[in-house]
Amino acid sequence: MKYLSTLTFLACVLLAGCQPAFVTGSKWDSGASGVNMQTRCEQVDLRNKVEMDRLFPKYDGWKLVYLSEYTTSNKLGTDAAVCFERTK
């Protein structure tokens, strides 16, 4: 029974396609500081055009200051955190 459980567990891991994750991040200086600055961060799936088209127009006029992308080599998911800044 223990052998069967171990074999089942290994099969599940292989079927899940476990791959090492790649995390990349970039930060840019907005050039402004102080109490009048507003910063907003959002999570977005970079493979989903509808989601990107909904999110990015919301920040027209804002400066992109941070982008962090998380993906795996099997491309099951590409997730990102994006941060925008502007002066009030």
Within-domain flag for 70: yes
pLDDT in tens, 26-52: 777 777 777 788 999 999 988 889 999
Within-domain flag for 31: yes
Among 86, 73, 84, which residue's Cα sits nearest to residue 42? 84
Within-domain flag for 42: yes
Pull the structure tokens for residue 78: 């590409």
Structural domain containing residue 54 = 20-87
Among 56, 80, 77, which residue's Cα sits nearest to residue 66? 80
How many domains in the chain? 1
Asked if residue 54 has pLDDT above 90, the reply is: yes
Within-domain flag for 7: no
How far apart, in whole angstroms, are the C-alpha atoms of residue 72 and residue 46?
Answer: 13
Mean pLDDT of 15-31: 66
Other CB atoms closer than 10 Å to residue 32's CB: what's the count? 11
Q: Band of the pLDDT at 3, cuts 50, 70, 90?
A: low
Within-domain flag for 46: yes
Within-domain flag for 11: no
